[in-house]
Amino acid sequence: MAKKLFVGSLPYSTTSDQLRDIFAKIGQVVEANVVMDKMTGRSRGFGFVEMATEEDAKKTVDSLNGTEIDGRKIFVSEARPQAPRDN
């Protein structure tokens, strides 16, 4: 079963394709997405990566959490469900 990971403290220049390439070195990536600001179109500095299996996800967290991308130490953890919003 696929497992979604949160990736924080990304360099603002990181693209979704670059994120996919970095995580694909550890395991099979289902989807990678850098979150973009709707108003400016620039990266918000975080994203999500969905790994194909829980084993790949755990291996990825252990391998990449605390490593550097372009001089910034990234944070990788299991993604939590989105909290409901009040309209």
* Letter string b/e over residues 25-40, b meaning 16 or more CB atoms within 10 A of that residue's CB: ebbebeebebeeeeee
Q: What is the pLDDT of residue 10?
A: 98
**Residue range 27-31: average pLDDT?**
98
What does DSSP say about strands 29-36 and 72-73: parallel, antiparallel, or unpaired? unpaired
What are the boundaries of each domain within the chain?
A: 3-78
Full-model pTM: 0.92
Q: For the segment 4-21, what is each residue's pLDDT rounded down to a tens digit?
A: 999 999 999 999 999 999
pLDDT tops 90 at residue 85? no
Q: For the segment 36-74, what is each residue's pLDDT rounded down to a tens digit?
A: 999 999 999 999 999 999 999 999 999 999 999 999 999
Q: What is the pLDDT of residue 1?
A: 83
Confirm or reject CATH 3.30.70.330 for domain 3-78, answering yes or no. Answer: yes
Asked if residue 85 lies in contact with residue 49, where contact means CB atoms within 8 angstroms, the answer is no
Q: What is the pLDDT of residue 65?
A: 98
